[in-house]
A and B are shown apart, each in its own frame.
Chain A
Amino acid sequence: MRSGTSVVVRPLTPSPSPPRGEGDTWRSLPTGGENARRYLCLFFPQWGLQCVWREQAETRVKAAALFERNAHGSVVAVCSAEAGKLGVRGGMSVADARALAPGLLLVEADYAAYQTRLEEVCAWAIQFSPLVGVEPAGPHAPHAEAIFLDTTGCEQVFRGEENLLRLALEGVRKLGLFARAAYAETLGAAWARARFGSGVRDQESGVRGQESEISALDFLNELPLAALRLDHDTLACLHALGLQRVGELMRQPRAALPSRLGPLPLLRLDQALGTAPETLTLLRPAPEFRVGGSFEYPVRNTEMLFPIIERMMEKLADELDAAGRGARVVECWLFHEVASPARVECLLHRSSASGAHLWQLLRTRLEAELRSGGTLAAERSASILGGRSAAAPKVRNTFAMEIDDRVLEVEEGVCAVAVQVLSSERLSERQLALFERATDEPGRLGLLWDRLASRLGQGAVMKARLEEHTLPECEVLWEQINSKCKMQNAKLDAAEIAERPLRLFKETVAITVDWPRRFLWNGREMRIAAFTGPERIETAWWTQKDQRRDYYIIETETGGRYWVFRRIGDEGWFLHGVFE
């Protein structure tokens, strides 16, 4: 999963003289402008607890709380509503919480895992918009609980914002999660509305009113100051001044705010109103080239669908060619009327602007996914937080046969398709490929690796790299064939190449050895005819794996040659490989 690409959300209209120039006035930018952007914020209340509930469904009805360890001991970080009814509060010591609620389920918070899971949900949300990002941790919340989607223009694919919102919340529900969602024209306003707004939508309630017609200034007025994403100290200071609502803060003279409260309140207000830029860190880079289209009626078989996508790929290739670039990562989205969109991705061994080649790879992937009965991205994402959803596969073939000229049926009709290039490079800057020789026709091997990777998966086409390492299992590293990094093997002299088996087991197999006469493996008695060794292999104690092994090459009376070792310490014997 890639991250780190940033886009700057510019002010909606250029403002050479900011509206705050007069010192006392606040103005939000007009809604629905030509350059207006639309952000959808999905806020997951008590995200850590939701992760716990998702993994342990039986705990959902219990009073539960997350605790964290700090200098003062173990304290409750967040608690469920049931726990709150029993008097448990955030910041309370764990001992006190246990005293109040003896049956309280206490789980130590693992914020890193919660962040990873939120990123997984964010990746799932790419089906609604290519521009998605996780809420950056800030002074208001050290741990993210929301994701943002830049849905500008995407509503056309989903036939309106309402439909997009509904699909997003349905998808969240299928993941076993709970979210509050809200649209706005700035990130700050979307977050404030999703977190504190009264008219936001969640799984149980509907949207009240046309939110898009309410300006940020109007709805922010009534929200509490915490909606500005301020830190605890600033909030405490504002409360001490008697300010509770954002509107009350906006009635204060602007010029005096920074000197008394620091720059943050003013910045947050301007960001929420759209008069100051705010950066959204995207989970994935925005597509560089994109072609898409929608159908009048849902398409339900590959006989009709594939020619359309093929034409799109040709168009995409034309765009690439015109720009002098070749695609490295191509993505295809299939949008359904009701079901969640499905996604297929192709990584190329070498950049290509050939429509036929790109289509061949994409077709292989699509057919493989269809044949496998619904392992498309939309389905995989259902298992983000552990386990596939109970829903039936959205896409499956009706002919469990080999592909090529057979027509596959798509259970959920496809109403729109988008193909896009996520990564490209200049064709003229291409380096020689790994296996390319002067006598090779350019790209033939690359085409083969691409074809194999498309069908088998990226992780199934590997190249080996030698590493200098003490432990045998760490001496060979595997890289995907489409990895951009140049493989550099450790250079070894012939004298340094120790004899190693051609097959090395992933897990060593415990065996019973009657040294030096025989050993038992898989219920078979192997009588030892000869052996060589030992070869002592031991790792340093300061490394992660502290191992001391004596390796022997054993030849059995039947001619088999095996690589076994005796673990020094407990004297256990293990089979590690076979000299095939």
Chain B
Amino acid sequence: MNLTIEHLRSKIQALEQVPFAKPRTYVPSTVPELDALLPGGGLSLGTFVELIQDEEGCGAFTLALRMARGSLARRPAWVVVDGDGTFFPRGNFRGDAEAPNAVLSLEHLVVLRPEAKDAAWACGQVLRSVDVGACFWMTASMDNMLFRRLQLAAERGGGLGFVIRPREALRKPCWAGARVLVSRGRATVLHAMGGCGGDTGRGDTETRRDARWRENEKRDVSGCATPHP
């Protein structure tokens, strides 16, 4: 960048005390349908993404993991803030980081199990790190101030932050870079900031495209009269 322009920018910034938006780097989320809906063709690094799950077990966390792969290709370390200790990284990840077509690697996973009062602090610390690719947190309560702090932390660290929240969060304001509603196995981009003007996008995508749901074995229960298999 031209040094003169940079110099002038810093001068104006010093006068106005308003930081200029840094040039954004977009990484594909590895979900093509979702990328098509996001400005820049993917998620902007240094973004905090909010996923609203319509119901438990609807696949929001799985979608978040898929969306993080682009960032994790640059920074493999990833962190899960697991307050209730139920995170179970068995079926979805490989223990061998060098394996071909490796998905998220357990070798680079760190799981935090903080007490409730420390969870936000822990999430902020991880997001501020310039070495962590993604941070995931499932929580119901999050006030505006905390939301803003985490977004700023993500901007500083340059990784991706994902918070998975229940449907009740839809009624509250969103400070995240993107808000995605996951319902009945489909995702809808409700809001996405990007570029200089804060473009938004809307659309649907399948959340479990890569889930190894054995479709050929899947049985529809309609008309199933068997009392027990």
Chain A interfacial positions (CB closer than 8 Å to B): 434-435, 437, 440, 444-445, 448-449, 451-452, 455-456, 459-466, 472, 475-476, 478, 481, 487, 489-492, 494, 497-506, 515-517, 528-534, 550, 553, 556, 558-562, 566, 577-580
Q: Known contacts A502-B87, A505-B86; is A440 also within 8 Å of B92 by CB? A: no
Q: Are A489 and B95 in contact (CB under 8 A)?
A: yes
Q: Are B56 and A456 in contact (CB under 8 A)?
A: no
Q: Which of A465, A500, A560 contacts B57 (CB 8 A)?
A: A560
- Complex formed: what's the CA distance from A403 to B130 in Å? 23
**Interface residue B85 (Cβ < 8 Å from any Cβ of A):** yes
Residues of B within 8 A of A (CB): 53-62, 76-77, 85-92, 94-96, 101, 106-115, 118, 121-122, 125-126, 129-132, 138, 164, 183-185, 211-214, 217-221, 224, 226-229
Q: In the complex, which residue of chain B has the Cβ closest to the Cβ of A402?
A: B121
B86 near A503: Cβ-Cβ < 8 Å: yes
B-side contacts of A558, CB under 8 Å? 54-55, 58, 184
A243 vs chain B, min Cβ distance (A): 62
A499 with B107: in contact, given A456-B114, A504-B86, A580-B164 (CB under 8 Å)?
A: no
Do A435 and B76 have beta carbons less than 8 Å apart?
Answer: yes
A445 in contact with B95 (CB, 8 Å): no
Interface of B is mostly: loop
Given the interface pairs A516-B226, A528-B221, the reply to whether A559 lies near B125 with Cβ below 8 Å is no
Question: Given A503-B61, A515-B229, 17 other A-B contacts at CB below 8 A?
Answer: A435-B77, A444-B129, A451-B125, A452-B122, A456-B112, A456-B118, A476-B89, A489-B107, A498-B91, A500-B90, A500-B92, A502-B87, A502-B88, A517-B221, A532-B218, A580-B57, A580-B164
Q: Kindly report which residue of chain B lies nearest to residue A493, judged by CB atoms.
A: B99
- A–B complex contacts, Cβ < 8 Å, 6 sampled: A451-B125, A459-B113, A465-B106, A466-B95, A550-B229, A561-B59
Q: What's the nearest-Cβ distance from chain A to residue B221, in Å? A: 5
- Which residues does chain A contribute within 8 Å of B61, judged by CB atoms? 502-503, 580
From B88, B184, B213, A532 is in contact (CB under 8 Å) with B213
Task: Please determine whether B91 and A497 come into contact, CB atoms closer than 8 angstroms.
Answer: yes
Compute the total of residue contacts between A and B using a CB distance below 8 Å: 181
Q: Decide: B219 and A531 in contact? CB cutoff 8 A.
A: yes
- The answer to whether B218 touches A448 (Cβ under 8 A) is no
Contacts of A489 in B (CB 8 A): 95-96, 106-107
- A517 CA / B185 CA spacing, docked (Å): 20
**In the complex, which residues of chain B have a beta carbon less than 8 angstroms from the beta carbon of A437?**
76
Neighbour of A449 across the interface among B55, B110, B184, CB < 8 A: B110
CB distance from B135 to the nearest CB of A (A): 11
Chain A, Cβ-Cβ closest to B64 = A580
A487 to B108, CA, bound (A): 11
Do A461 and B89 touch (CB < 8 A)? no
How far is A476 from B89 in the complex, measured between Cα atoms in Å? 7
Residue of A at shortest CB range from B86?
Answer: A503
**Interface pair B111/A464, CB less than 8 Å apart:** yes
List residues of chain B with CB within 8 A of the CB of A502: 61-62, 87-89, 92
Partner of A463, one of B110, B138, B212, B226: B110
Task: Give the residue name and chain of the A residue nearest to B182 (CB).
Answer: A559
Q: Which of chain B's residues have a CB closer than 8 A to the CB of A562?
A: 57
Q: Is the CB of A515 within 8 A of B54?
A: no
B131 and A444 within 8 A (CB): yes
Q: CB-nearest residue of chain B relative to A437?
A: B76
Query: Out of B86, B88, B91, B221, which one reaches A516, CB within 8 Å?
Result: B221
Known: A452-B112, A500-B91. A516 touches B213 (CB 8 A): no
